[in-house]
Amino acid sequence: MLYAFHELAYHSATPFRIGAQMARRFWTSPLNPASDTAIGRTAYATAEVFESLTRRYGKPDWGLETITIDGQPVRTTEQVVWSSPWCCLVRFARHVGDLKRAGKPAAAPAVVIVAPLSGHYATLLRGTVETFLQDHDVYVADWTNARQVPMLEGRFDFHDYIDHVRAMLAAVGPRAHVVGVCQPGPPVLAACAVMAAEDDPNRPASMTFMGSPIDARLSPTVTNQLAEAKPFTWFRSNMIHTVPWPYPGVGRRVYPGFVQLYSFMSMNEDKHVDAHRRYFESLVEGDGDGVEKHEQFYDEYLSVLDLTEEFYLQTIDIVFQQHLLPRGLLEHRGQTVDLTAITDIGLATVEGEMDDISGVGQTQAAHGLTPNIPDERRLLHVQSKVGHYGVFNGRRFREEIYPRVRDFIAQNESLSVVSERSTAAA
């Protein structure tokens, strides 16, 4: 019933939202002599904040039609190269002529960025994608909002996620490089292990994990402690709700994105209250930079998607309660996931010193679990003075983290080419 009440609250606020929109236009009209007074600006700011807090935030656009590489504009084209009802693999194809003008080669290592399926859209990684596009042919796993998937499409669980990672790597081709940001860490690592055990030619040349709960037992955060403190039945009873009409997925049981959003916001309630207070003040003062910065962040942050019941509950059980992957007990399609089978896939782990979602040690645990990867194929990096989002976005990511990951990918690209030539010669 919670989902239905949430929808009812949204639609009940529609008349007030329309009123706020009308007030906004009234107080910004050039024909209104009071529009540029203190009263007018305050009235406009009040209407703007109310409307922003009650509107429905849909999936944001990527907005990467043109990026800048070495000071030169480079056009990109979004291409869906593989899809299922649950995900699209999107390639950001860079314009060859623009690359030449920027002094970059047309050919570049293929990087598959697996975005988290944890409440936000893949566009949360816009800055990550733009940075990787400087030197790579970039593909992104763009997950579908579960409420948009009809019941006839069936289930989507943790093991389906692993299969999707394998299918996307196969669509890109042999020896691409995979990057898992936050939540994807365990299923991506499992997928790579299964591919290695089967000697799958499409296994990646390297895997990079950023702020991922590979072993959530280490340096537990508030999020980890909550997952362990509550019994599994509590999550099933309190976090799962039914998609109402008129969504295509009506009747599907999901973990709603708005529940995830409210949970995260409650962890930093004072921070969000202060942010909206500063937003109101910026509107009154006419501070365009402050307004734009706030809107860019919250337009993305407040855009959320639903997860299927089975995927959410299995993630809680497998990753945060039983810790099956680091304990060597995870089975996929009847086969034990053997991390020691990984021998020729590079491994990079990136953590944030101040990460309050995936504590330091949880991601780098992957190194101890994969003893047969050669040292020259490894990178372990803990970034100082960044939290969870700083691990994959922002200035320190661009200037300090990305250069290390870029060089790691280049090193593993070279090692893979040498290995393939040696195999062919033999």
How far is it, in rounded angstroms, from Cα 101 to Cα 72? 7
| Residue 301: HSE in the Cβ half-sphere, 13 Å Cα cutoff | 15
**Angstrom distances, CA of residue 405 to CA of 68, 173, 357, 359, 389:** 20, 21, 21, 20, 16
Contacts of 369 (CB under 8 A, 6+ apart): 189, 214, 215, 325, 326, 339
Helix 14-28 to helix 2-12 angle, to the nearest 10 degrees? 40
> Domain spanning 70-415 has what CATH number?
3.40.50.1820
Is residue 401 a contact partner of residue 134, using CB atoms and an 8 Å limit?
no
Q: Tell me, rounded to whole angstroms, the distance of Cα 32 from its chain centroid.
A: 44
Tokens of 50: 């109310």
How far is it, in rounded angstroms, from Cα 129 to Cα 89? 13
The predicted pLDDT at position 121 comes to: 95
How far is it, in rounded angstroms, from Cα 176 to Cα 169? 7
The predicted pLDDT at position 421 comes to: 52
The predicted pLDDT at position 11 comes to: 85
CA-closest candidate to residue 409, choices 196, 190, 185, 176: 176
How far is it, in rounded angstroms, from Cα 131 to Cα 401? 11
How far is it, in rounded angstroms, from Cα 72 to Cα 75? 10
How far is it, in rounded angstroms, from Cα 20 to Cα 26? 10
Q: Tell me, rounded to whole angstroms, the distance of Cα 144 from its chain centroid.
A: 12
Is residue 258 a contact partner of residue 273, using CB atoms and an 8 Å limit?
no
For the chain, 426 residues long, the average pLDDT of each consecutive 10-residue run is 86 89 89 88 91 88 95 96 98 96 93 95 96 98 97 97 98 97 97 98 98 95 84 92 95 93 79 89 88 86 94 97 97 97 98 94 98 97 95 96 98 80 51
pTM: 0.92
CA-closest candidate to residue 240, choices 223, 225, 260: 260
Percentage of the chain exceeding pLDDT 70: 98
Residue spans of alpha helices (H) in 13-125: 14-28, 38-54, 96-101
Beta bridge partners of 82: 89
- Angle (CA) 156-189-360 rounded to 5° is 110
How far is it, in rounded angstroms, from Cα 322 to Cα 228? 9
How far is it, in rounded angstroms, from Cα 105 to Cα 266? 47
The predicted pLDDT at position 128 comes to: 97
The predicted pLDDT at position 27 comes to: 87
Q: Tell me, rounded to whole angstroms, the distance of Cα 338 from its chain centroid.
A: 26
